[in-house]
Amino acid sequence: SSPDTGTGVSEAREVLQRVFGYAEFRGSQQDVIEHVVAGGDALVLMPTGGGKSLCYQIPALVRPGVGVVISPLIALMQDQVDALRNVGVRAGFLNSTQNPDERSMVESEFLAGELDLLYLAPERLRLESTARLLDRGKVSLFAIDEAHCVSQWGHDFRPDYLALSAVHERWPDVPRIALTATATEATHQEIATRLNLKKARHFVASFDRPNIQYRIEPKNEPKKQLLDLLRTEHAGDAGIVYCLSRASVEKTAEFLVQNGIPALPYHAGLDSGVRAVNQSRFLREDGLVMVATIAFGMGIDKPDVRFVAHLDLPKSVEGYYQETGRAGRDGLPSTAWLAYGLQDVVQQRKMIDTSEGDQAHRRMLGLHLDAMLALCETVDCRRARLLAYFGQEGTPCGNCDTCLSPPESWDGTIAAQKLLSTVYRLQNERRQKFGAGQLIDILLGKKTAKVIQFDHDSLTVFGIGADLRETEWRGVVRQLLAQGLLAVEGDYGTLVLTPASADVLGRKREVVLRREPERVRAARPARAA
């Protein structure tokens, strides 16, 4: 049982109002703060925009000593510290961007007890000199922000985070609070184990972001689809467009600018000066669109991001949730829009096959991708699916594409048999492997040059799929891939059978497919005043 914290609570509330200017705590903030002020360890899982910062900032102000915040977001430390100083909190940081003079000034402030909060990059904490510095001052708590960076299977792994387990050994009496917006049970357990937080109290907030409208549609003409979304629903809005590669970031940003939409590129290949300028323009100016790789976004606190668009499939549901979570921190209606297609599946499987790491690691990546594909192909509420992935309950939300225009499902057994038997004929009878394009041409009975070259018009399956349109066939291929009834192989995205394909070919298994929607444009709820 926790000690009497009556004074802690009233002091914390007083700080909330006087320093930060907020009337009330939000969600579980008060419970967390109370627990940490009283000296307890905590693991806090709260969605982006949930208000994690106050959970350690207020205890740091209430407890005697300096709160040490470990954060991987070096590029944002200056901003975070400036924002705190603006409200009168004595904050400083130590990271590799400073020169020795700047660093020693912060160090003397720390030793003189002139700081409330000290932000540290994780690699600095590993230095014995830093540890000795902390020994000479008084640390009130350790806050480990973005704690999922300790997860080796996650999407933001930082090796320096592994060393943070030593914090407890060196300073056993200092309370620790680890915070993250990543929420699967597995990551959660991994954080607790690796950071030595088994006995910490866990605070798990609801991961629902009701103001975000989730929409996922097939990728046909991605740039045009994006432009259409921006023009019809988000004219003049700030937003983020995520692309997988640096090249597509550049091309997409250029395309938007050519079409009259103010857009900036951001990826790790850009000069750091350019990145910093683009990031700060995005934060400070209105209505800019940031076209970025996932290198952009962690820790970015821009409340009025009205949309997050993905032009390529995220690698995992956790990544998708994090990235889309950057929309609508202010609570106003926002859109999370994703276009994905067959090529995404082919490309990602290839990336997994050629990725570094052992078999187990590749298998994990494969499972992440499968879960993401299942979310894309679901006929159920996207939000309920998303919450279920994080182990939380949700009922149909009325604010996602599948709720707003429920997709039909259809019996795709025969179509699947036609497709799989075409793959079978090529693979087993002719020892050939082809990608989706050739297979679909065969099914549709198209006498293209390549069909004639390989004599594919003499196959018995030639033309047996003329009852479906090309886009429908692409949907069939994509969904069979998502269901594990078909697999991609090699550099050219050739399609091959899987062990499960046999059940479909042998008529032992039915296949339910989602009908390819006509361009859905979900109705938006009126924007709150």
Quick check: 301 binds ligand ADP (CB under 6 A)? yes
Taking each continuous run of H as one helix and of E as one strand, the counts in the chain are: 23, 17
From 254, 314, 318, 315, select the one nearest 289 (Cα to Cα): 254
Nearer to ligand ADP, 187 or 378 (CB): 187
- Decide: 479 and 468 in contact? Cβ < 8 Å: no
- The option from Zn ion, ligand ADP, none interacting with 397 (CB < 5 to 8 A, set by class) reads Zn ion
Backbone angles phi, psi at 190, to 5 degrees: -65, -40
Q: Which DSSP string corresponds to 200-269?
A: SEEEE-----TTEEEEEEE-SSHHHHHHHHHHHH-TT-EEEEE-SSHHHHHHHHHHHHHTT--EEEE-TT
Quick check: 456 binds ligand ADP (CB under 6 A)? no
In the complex, minimum distance from the CB of residue 145 to ligand ADP, in angstroms, rounded to a whole number: 8
Tell me which amino acid residue 160 is. Answer: D
Nearer to Zn ion, 77 or 375 (CB): 375
Quick check: 49 binds ligand ADP (CB under 6 A)? yes
Count the residues of the shown chain that bind ligand ADP, applying the rule CB under 6 A. 15
Tell me which amino acid residue 148 is. Answer: H
In the complex, minimum distance from the CB of residue 488 to ligand ADP, in angstroms, rounded to a whole number: 36
Q: Which of 46, 76, 261, 345 binds ligand ADP (CB under 6 A)?
A: 46
- The option from ligand ADP, Zn ion, none interacting with 53 (CB < 5 to 8 A, set by class) reads ligand ADP
- At residue 30's C-alpha, the angle toward residues 28 and 34, to 5°, is 120
Q: Which of 26, 202, 281, 430 binds ligand ADP (CB under 6 A)?
A: 26
Quick check: 50 binds ligand ADP (CB under 6 A)? yes
Q: Which of 52, 209, 418, 514 binds ligand ADP (CB under 6 A)?
A: 52
CA distance 247 to 269: 10
CA distance 18 to 468: 65
Quick check: 327 binds Zn ion (CB under 5 A)? no
Site for Zn ion in 377-436 (CB under 5 A): 381, 383, 397, 400, 403
CA distance 289 to 271: 19
Nearer to Zn ion, 40 or 47 (CB): 47
Contacts for 398-405 with beta carbons within 8 Å, 24 or more apart?
A: 399/210, 399/212, 399/213, 399/214, 399/525, 400/213, 400/214, 400/215, 400/522, 401/213, 401/214, 401/215, 401/216, 401/217, 401/517, 401/520, 401/522, 402/378, 404/520, 404/522, 404/523, 405/517, 405/520, 405/522
Nearer to ligand ADP, 52 or 383 (CB): 52
In the complex, minimum distance from the CB of residue 381 to Zn ion, in angstroms, rounded to a whole number: 3
- The option from Zn ion, ligand ADP, none interacting with 94 (CB < 5 to 8 A, set by class) reads none
Quick check: 329 binds ligand ADP (CB under 6 A)? yes
SS3 177: strand
Nearer to ligand ADP, 113 or 303 (CB): 303
For residue 143, the 8-state DSSP code is E
Nearer to ligand ADP, 161 or 462 (CB): 161
- Decide: 336 and 308 in contact? Cβ < 8 Å: yes
Site string for Zn ion, 329-368 (x = CB under 5 A): ----------------------------------------
Nearer to ligand ADP, 187 or 483 (CB): 187
Quick check: 322 binds ligand ADP (CB under 6 A)? no
Site for Zn ion in 224-283 (CB under 5 A): none
- The option from ligand ADP, Zn ion, none interacting with 50 (CB < 5 to 8 A, set by class) reads ligand ADP
Q: Give 136's Cβ-side CA count (13 Å radius).
A: 12
CA distance 265 to 275: 8
Near ligand ADP by CB under 6 A, which window of 45-53, 102-110, 188-196, 310-318? 45-53
Residues at the site binding Zn ion, with contacts judged by CB under 5 A: 381, 383, 397, 400, 403
Residues at the site binding ligand ADP, with contacts judged by CB under 6 A: 22, 25-26, 29, 46, 48-54, 301, 303, 329
